[in-house]
Structure 1
Amino acid sequence: MNGNSNAPGEERARVRVYDAVRALAFVGDLSMGQPTDHSLRTAWLAAHLAREADEGDGLIVTAAQTALLRWSGCTANASEFAEVLGDDVAGREAMLAQRQDWMQRIASQEVATTMRPLAQIHCDVSGEIARMLNLAPDTESALRHIFEVWDGNGMPDGLAGEAVPRGVYVVSLAGDLEIFSRVYGLPRALDLIAARAGTRYPADLAALVAARAAHWLALLETGELAGIDESIETAQMQATTSAELIGDVIDLKLPWMTGYSRAVARAASACSVALGADEASATRVYAAALIHGIGRAAVPNAIWNSPRRLSDAEWEKVRLVPYWTGRAGKQTGTLARAAELASYAYERLDGSGYFRGVGGQALSFDARVLSAAVAFVSLGQKRPWRDALSASEVAQTMRVEASEGRFDGEVVAALIDTRDVLPRGARLRPSTIRLTAREIDVLRSIGRGASNKEAARELDLSPSTVRTHVESVFRKLDCSTRAAATLKASALGLL
């Protein structure tokens, strides 16, 4: 993930891999409708089950890493889940809890036929994330097969028995134990697990869970989060990585937001430097901008994609986005300060913003820069409820907002002045992968949600030519889905 930096603050916006993983776990838990410590608790249980299985330290490492990143691919298929289930967040919560009515949301379609493409997207992206973070190869393999089951009826490849990575079974059991015991109580949880033994996971591991579950859950309830962290942070997760990956994964939830977090980060850090801020401030603003959308995962895609005025209940969910982002900071170590700043992304100088509704002196210089940059970049991009504004329209709108007291006038002026300093896709990374200009155009179009036919119309190409470019991109990037290709291309600075 190393490379040359073209944006102020970018080079130093680095965090421990473990903190990036924890942030992605937080996003995943929100996306799946789970408590925000679900993945952490699952990782702890998985590590204990792997240790009890006595199959070597490698399985313990794989289990902990896989459990934390198990839901890291779920932003990538949120759009597809929304089409199938309506509410992608509530629907996935019902699916994990195995509520009796959850499959009714799929209407008359077969579950396997409907869910396999979604599983493929999820597995492709989560596996790519593990590879980007340089985690254990067994972790990447487990994530690429995380929905496989013992009897071969899983996804995406229908592997069975010993062909399924052992870590998949460990994490699957730990996740079921965490969810079922919390939702239904331990006795019912053990009944559900016993019913799945020999079909979803091997009977020997299920027997270990039956024997040790009560003890593990009792220990888990007495443990502090910091103590849990220490027990599952592997050596590989003590390295550093860029916070950019977190922003890229967040943006996958809504295809029309592809590249948005990076664009806000570049604008905010450039503005910060233009106004005389030091490197520490530019770095802090850059990192906060990258992760300011963490809480977006808690809001169903149907709300984000709505072209109409939101209801009070829907708007309340949107207002909580920065609250959840701030909450993430309490669980992410070296990202804590950036997440706290990020939680001010939608505040306004006159107090009309959210979620705190504070203004004036309560907003630091960094908060003023960040909130203005978020609005500035957003106005220039198309949204389901409005078209993108031209550069002049964005500038005029922001100047009016500043004159009415919602943004800092100096900050707005600096954003306008530095707008063209950094070109799109400013960060270039050394790579042996080379995409042609047309391939990049096609990937950028489909990465924003366009079908092959829509991309063909947009780029004045034939659908068959677009298909050929897509196949070439997948081959060069070693990906099988559009979401994973977009994620990898963004990390390589190709978009």
Structure 2
Amino acid sequence: MADVSTIRALNAVKALAFIGDLSMGQPTDHSLRTSWLAGRLAAEAGHDDAQCGVVKEVSLLRWSGCTANAAGFSEMLGDDIGGREAMLAMRPGWGGAAEAQGRLDATITLLAEIHCEVSGEIARMLGLEGATQSALRNIFEKWDGGGQPLRVEGARVPEAVFMVALAGDLEILSRVYGLESAQKLIAQKAGRYYPDLLARIACAQAGEWLTELDQQSAAGRDEPLDALPMQQVTAPEIIADVIDLKLPWMAGYSRRVAEAAARCCARLGFDDEVRRTTYLAGLIHGMGRMAVSNAIWNTPGRLSPAAWEKVRLVPYWTARAGKQIGALARESEIASQAYERLDGAGYFRGATGNMLGREARVLAAAASWVALLSPRPWRAAFPPDEAAALLNEQAAAGLFDADSVHALLSCEKDGYEVGAERIKPGRGALLSPREAEVLWHISQGASNKEVAKTLSMSPSTVRTHVESVFRKLECSTRAAATLKASTLGLI
């Protein structure tokens, strides 16, 4: 659907900042506030406008890779969101440094590598400057060389890394513990996480900066980000791909929903603007999924009432995203209606038919159709004929708009085998058909051993294919390969 839409890179960055904040258990304005503080710190430290722009960009995108390692953090900590929130806030009992340097060191190094590679790749895809890309690829390094994953130190680390880390600490620690305690904690980290000089500047100016920032927020004014050098446009699909990295079994899901919704709009005779809006809403309808831990999403049986309540709030958080992104406010609102039903049985609003516009009706049908055709931890994928029968039954019962369901199924009448559909010929023969097939399976979270069993080949052959894919895509992690291959249309 490349002809449907492009969006400003700045709006994509705002969306990714929102997604990152939810994933890290932070307030949805955390990255925006950190960006403001980092810009002030850079200016106070004597940097020019270009470097101030870099630290703002890095602040907004520093958590953009966190969907890619959510599965790993969930396995390690049990709760990828709560665990990372505790880590950032230096909460007692998290264990942090002692555990990181003990039995969890190798795991944390791998998770940091995934995060850094993916966030750097995102910046590259968005067309941001090399300085921003470099800082993101080193975002967890420390001044004393004790960071992750490369353990480089001092001047070998882009200075933007230290300014962003310091601004992030100031924003989080002052909010959680108060200004005085935040200053003490930052002083303790000075000389290890970031240079002493930067820490002294931040602590000296912290009170004034935070007061000004709070006053702006109270007055409903935010320092505009439009001055950032991100006037270029980008493909909105990058937002969908980053969303879907959170859960390996969701790879490609948001794109498929958007594509199905757009085809349905065309079949119904809607104009290009309606098709464009619905397509964009389909791409971003899963933003709120970041607020729910992977442990809940991977639950094989019935959810507890508490867990279900968190799932019910997913579209609420998607709606909230529009408040941050601005230019995608209408699309976010429609996206937040993807789980509403005409009879009022949906969530989070419990909206009824006359409250749901044509875009929302199409999107709800498309999301349900693609979900039925996709395997989930709690069930297998429905065969296309069974999925169609169930969707028709639900439309007849008044859950979905019958015209939308009829148009959707007419577009999909040839069936939709999820795995086969996503294995595409390698662009310019970049990947062989077998490599594309292997990549599709590992993008779904399958291990080399599982891929070998599925494709009837030896694990060593699978490993050879994976290594070839990494080399051709210039990636070193599965998450980055999945993201890049999705963007290139290879899977």
Same fold by TM-score, threshold 0.5 exceeded? Answer: yes
Aligned to 2:52: 60
* Secondary structure class of the residue paired with 2:328: helix
Deviation digits for residues 143-164 of structure 1, max 9, x if unmatched? 0010000111100100111111
Does residue 451 of structure 2 align to residue 455 of structure 1?
Answer: yes
Does residue 48 of structure 2 align to residue 26 of structure 1?
Answer: no
Instruction: Give the structure-1-normalised TM-score.
Output: 0.95
Aligned counterpart for 2:144 among listed residues 143, 146, 151: 151
Question: Partner letter of residue 309 of structure 2?
Answer: E
In 1, the alpha carbon distance for the partners of 2:146 and 2:412 equals 52
Aligned counterpart for 1:217 among listed residues 210, 214, 218: 210
Is 1:84–1:106's contact at 8 Å kept on the other side of the alignment? no
In 2, the alpha carbon distance for the partners of 1:222 and 1:490 equals 42
Does residue 356 of structure 2 align to residue 363 of structure 1?
Answer: yes
Aligned counterpart for 2:377 among listed residues 374, 381, 384: 384
Does residue 266 of structure 2 align to residue 270 of structure 1?
Answer: no
Instruction: Give the structure-2-normalised TM-score.
Output: 0.95
In 2, the alpha carbon distance for the partners of 1:314 and 1:106 equals 29
Deviation, structure 1 residue 107: 10
Does residue 201 of structure 2 align to residue 208 of structure 1?
Answer: yes
* Secondary structure class of the residue paired with 1:334: coil
Aligned to 1:4: none
How many residues align? The count is 485
Deviation, structure 1 residue 229: 4.6
In 2, the alpha carbon distance for the partners of 1:98 and 1:11 equals 46
Is 2:9–2:234's contact at 8 Å kept on the other side of the alignment? yes
Is 2:35–2:57's contact at 8 Å kept on the other side of the alignment? yes
* Secondary structure class of the residue paired with 2:489: coil
Is 1:379–1:388's contact at 8 Å kept on the other side of the alignment? yes
Aligned to 1:491: 487
Is 2:99–2:105's contact at 8 Å kept on the other side of the alignment? no
Deviation, structure 1 residue 237: 1.5
In 1, the alpha carbon distance for the partners of 2:442 and 2:18 equals 27
Deviation digits for residues 160-186 of structure 1, max 9, x if unmatched? 111111000000000000000000000
In 1, the alpha carbon distance for the partners of 2:445 and 2:260 equals 24
In 2, the alpha carbon distance for the partners of 1:347 and 1:103 equals 42
Question: Partner letter of residue 450 of structure 1?
Answer: A
Is 1:372–1:407's contact at 8 Å kept on the other side of the alignment? yes
Aligned counterpart for 1:193 among listed residues 177, 186, 195: 186
Is 1:292–1:339's contact at 8 Å kept on the other side of the alignment? yes
In 2, the alpha carbon distance for the partners of 1:461 and 1:194 equals 56
* Secondary structure class of the residue paired with 1:331: helix
Deviation, structure 1 residue 57: 2.5
Deviation digits for residues 303-362 of structure 1, max 9, x if unmatched? 000011001100000000000000001111221111010000000011100000011111
Aligned to 1:71: 63
Aligned to 2:344: 351
In 2, the alpha carbon distance for the partners of 1:141 and 1:282 equals 37
Deviation, structure 1 residue 412: 1.0
Distance verdict in 2 for CA 1:383–1:426, change over 3 Å? closer
Aligned to 1:103: 95
Unaligned runs of 5+ in 1: 1-6
Is 2:423–2:440's contact at 8 Å kept on the other side of the alignment? no
Moved more, 105-114 or 238-247: 105-114
Is 2:425–2:436's contact at 8 Å kept on the other side of the alignment? no
Aligned to 1:127: 120
Deviation, structure 1 residue 411: 1.1
Deviation digits for residues 276-317 of structure 1, max 9, x if unmatched? 111111101000000000000000001000011001100000
Distance verdict in 2 for CA 1:108–1:64, change over 3 Å? closer
Is 2:236–2:283's contact at 8 Å kept on the other side of the alignment? yes
Q: Please give the root-mean-square deviation of Cα atoms over the aligned residues, in Å.
A: 1.9
Deviation, structure 1 residue 459: 1.2
Aligned counterpart for 1:327 among listed residues 297, 320, 326: 320
Question: Partner letter of residue 457 of structure 2?
Answer: L
Does residue 222 of structure 2 align to residue 228 of structure 1?
Answer: yes
Distance verdict in 2 for CA 1:432–1:210, change over 3 Å? farther
In 1, the alpha carbon distance for the partners of 2:162 and 2:385 equals 55
Distance verdict in 2 for CA 1:269–1:333, change over 3 Å? same
Aligned to 1:257: 250
Is 1:426–1:493's contact at 8 Å kept on the other side of the alignment? no
Distance verdict in 2 for CA 1:422–1:124, change over 3 Å? farther
Question: Partner letter of residue 387 of structure 1?
Answer: A
Give the alignment of 1:106-117 within 5 angstroms.
109-117=102-110
Structure with the greater relative contact order (CA < 8 A, sep ≥ 6): 1 or 2? 1
Moved more, 92-101 or 220-229: 220-229
Give the alignment of 1:304-315 within 5 angstroms.
304-315=297-308
* Secondary structure class of the residue paired with 1:41: helix
Deviation, structure 1 residue 426: 10
* Secondary structure class of the residue paired with 1:200: coil
Aligned-pair identity in percent equals 56
Aligned to 1:374: 367
Moved more, 330-339 or 162-171: 330-339
Aligned to 1:92: 84
Question: Partner letter of residue 75 of structure 1?
Answer: T
